[in-house]
Amino acid sequence: MCCKTCNTVLLFFRFCAEPTVGCIRHSELITVSWADFEFLYYGFIIFDIRSCPATDRQGVKKIREILAFTIVERFKKGFFMITNYQINGFQAAGLAAGIKKDRKKDLGLLLAAAPIPTAGVFTRNRVQAAPVILDRQRIRSGLCRAIIVNSGNANCCTGEKGIRDATDMAKAVADHLKIPEDQVLVASTGVIGQPLPIVAIANAVPELINACRPAGLADFAEAIMTTDTVPKLVREAGTIDGKQFQVIGIAKGAGMIRPDMATLLGFVVSDIKAPADVLKPALQAAVDASLNRITIDGDTSTNDTVLLMANGTAGVQPTARAHKAEFQRVLDSVLLQLARLLVKDGEGVTKLVEIKVTGAQTAQDARAVADTIAHSNLVKTAFFGEDANWGRLIAAAGRAGVRLDPDRIDIYFDDVQMVANGTGLGQQAEDRATAILKQPEFTVTLDLNAGTGEASVITCDFSVDYVKINADYRS
């Protein structure tokens, strides 16, 4: 449900005599029924309890049940809205095919009007899911027309049947669209080791294709979620020779996430005109600067896939070096925003933390130290407990396998220095650092004072909820 004036998903809700919704940019309100509440899955929701009749107060509880998580949690994570993004020449859809037990959306389709240049980056885990194996073969052509994605089942470690199922999943789309099978790519995410319910997926394909529409990216984003609590969708625009182009990115991932193509699915569409051999290095560079420097739990997935499609409808072609740099800038921005959203919505996450290491002898040394700290369970539990335990930071740095002098290390929490030359600066500094740790996002900086190398990794805390979520993931 979108605002007719600005085409933005309606953002706020309030109780009057009847339930009403409206766009935050305009004052006009629209009366809706209780049955319409589910669309607020994407909305920024405000409850004005003081002004609503007592009989409507039960609606607060009802909405929370529909959303499946509290309004407070959404505010805490910092998610507000998803705009009705679209690019000319692309359509998308998402629906429930019956893969997930809760009947939530679990099958999505991203569709181009014709075969278009496509590039991909995949997991480096040696255990690779059937759709990854299939896509690695098909992406060599550099062209793609459609991407079908399921959630709830990874189709990994499923043997030859898994390969056949992935192939049949693509074939179902190709047959209905009357296009070559090798123009359809496949992605899956969910539980490893279980057979893919290919019959349910194939039966849902005709409805899925019929549901495709230019404004369907939000439905697609919802359909690829697993333990994510919100869809992730980011748009950026750039300009080349006075002409504007767009890049829209969609991603999912909340657990089993670490660098080395962080564990996730990502799909990027653009109206720029570029062949696959231009898209591939641009995508790899953007992934290395974003999705390859995040971690939630240190586990690398078997299904990681990021695909970039470009249809050229903007009439913009990045040929000159400056043009390619502008496209790279926009692509980098989209993937970095998605990377931060993935960590922010990680399983049980309450803190998003950037670990920044400066003054290393080399950039590789800085990255090794940042990675070691970002993956330390002791560091991450201290973040959750809002404990400025800098000893855990310096201890992790010391086992990163690089040469450093502990007596030269400085440590900062945002702009608060807590350690100078390897020695704590006292209770007052610790109190100020503890106040920083109470924020939902902050930066921890270690200056090794040994050179000019620097690197950063985005990580999170390790909470009780992460354990609960993963203790019964399959059930």
Q: What type of residue is 181?
A: E
Q: How many residues does the chain have?
A: 475
How many CB atoms are located within 10 Å of the residue 470 CB?
A: 16
Give the whole-angstrom CA distance, residue 385 versus residue 261.
29
Question: Which amino acid belongs to residue 132?
Answer: V
Backbone angles phi, psi at 202, to 5 degrees: -60, -40
Cβ–Cβ < 8 Å for 98, 207: no
Nearest residue to 348 (alpha-carbon basis) of 471, 224, 469: 469
Give the list of residues 6+ apart from residue 178 with CB closer than 8 angstroms, or none: none
Alpha helices in 289-344 (DSSP H): 321-344
443 a catalytic residue: no
Q: Give Cα separations from 231 to 176, 217, 262, 276 (angstroms).
A: 28, 10, 17, 27
Name residues whose C-beta falls within 8 Å of residue 6's C-beta, 6 or more positions apart in sequence.
23, 25, 26
d(CA 50, CA 61): 15
Give dist(CA 388, CA 162) in Å, integer: 47
Asked which of 162-171, 230-239, 339-348, 437-446 is least confident by mean pLDDT, the reply is 339-348
Q: Which of 469, 450, 460 is nearest to 403 (CA)?
A: 450
User: Which pLDDT does position 418 carry in this prediction?
Assistant: 97
28 or 49, higher pLDDT: 28
| Options 123, 189, 263, 305, the catalytic residue | 263
Average pLDDT, the chain: 82
Q: Could you tell me the pLDDT band of residue 33, with boundaries at 50, 70 and 90?
A: very low
Helical pair 198-211 and 159-177, crossing angle rounded to 10 deg: 30
Rounded Cα distance, 25 and 42, in Å: 16
First to last CA, the chain: 33
Residue in 142, 81, 148 with CA at minimum distance from that of residue 115: 142
Compute CA distances 265 → 8, 133, 338, 339, 425, whole Å: 25, 15, 11, 11, 43
Spatial contact of 301 and 125, defined as CB atoms under 8 Å apart: yes
Contact between 210 and 225 (Cβ < 8 Å): no
Distance CA 311, CA 329 (A): 19
Both tokens assigned to 97: 């095919």
Q: Please tell me the predicted confidence (pLDDT) of residue 270.
A: 97
209 pLDDT more than 70 = yes
CATH topology (fold) of 90-344 = L-amino peptidase D-ALA esterase/amidase (3.60.70)
- Cα separation, 120 vs 308, in Å, equals 6
Residues 235, 28: Cα–Cα separation, whole Å: 26
Tokens of 346: 């990680």
Contact 43, 32 (CB under 8 A): no
d(CA 133, CA 432): 50
DSSP per residue, 234-248 = EEEEEEETTEEEEEE
Looking at residue 303, its pLDDT comes to 63
Closest to 328 in 3D by CA, of 289, 367, 373 = 289
Looking at residue 298, its pLDDT comes to 53
Q: Which residues pair with 358 in a beta bridge?
A: 447
CB 181 within 8 A of CB 135: no
The answer on pLDDT for 85 being more than 90 is no
Q: Is the pLDDT of residue 13 over 50?
A: no
Specify which residues 20 forms β-bridges with.
Answer: 14, 31
Confidence of residue 299 (pLDDT cuts 50, 70, 90): low
- Amino acid at site 56: D
473 with 449: CB under 8 angstroms?
A: no
Annotated domain spans of the chain: 12-77, 90-344, 352-471
User: Which pTM value belongs to this model?
Assistant: 0.78
Q: Report the distance separating Cα 131 and Cα 405, nearest Å.
A: 46
The confidence score (pLDDT) of residue 264 equals 72
Beta strand ranges found along 335-413 (DSSP E): 352-360, 410-413
Region 246-266: mean pLDDT is: 71
pLDDT at 304 (0 to 100): 74
Q: Does domain 352-471 have CATH number 3.40.50.300?
A: no
pLDDT tens track for 164-187: 999 999 999 999 999 999 999 999
Q: pLDDT tens digits for 320-356?
A: 999 999 999 999 999 998 888 888 877 778 899 999 9
Maximum average pLDDT range among 58-72, 243-257, 366-380: 366-380
Range from 77-86, 314-323, 445-454 carrying the lowest mean pLDDT? 77-86
d(CA 304, CA 124): 8
How does residue 281 score in pLDDT terms, banded at 50, 70 and 90? very high
